[in-house]
Amino acid sequence: MKQFAWILVFCSAAAQAAIADQPPAPPATKPVAEAPPGIEASADGKRRVRDAQGRTWIYRKSPFGAAWLEEERPQPEPAKMPPPSCRVVRLEKEEAVFERRSPFSHATWTKRLDQLDEMERRALEEWKKARQ
| Integer angstrom CA distances of residue 58 from 51, 85, 89 | 11, 45, 56
In this structure, what DSSP letter does residue 39 have? -
Give the residue extent of every domain in the chain.
40-70, 87-131
Nearest to 14 by CA among 6, 2, 24, 26: 6
Tens-of-pLDDT digits for all 132 residues of the chain? 677 777 877 667 666 766 666 666 655 444 445 656 777 777 777 788 888 888 888 887 778 877 778 877 777 777 776 666 788 888 888 899 988 888 888 888 899 999 998 888 888 888 888 887
Contact 25, 33 (CB under 8 A): no
Q: Decide: helix, strand or coil at residue 84.
A: coil
Confidence (pTM): 0.37
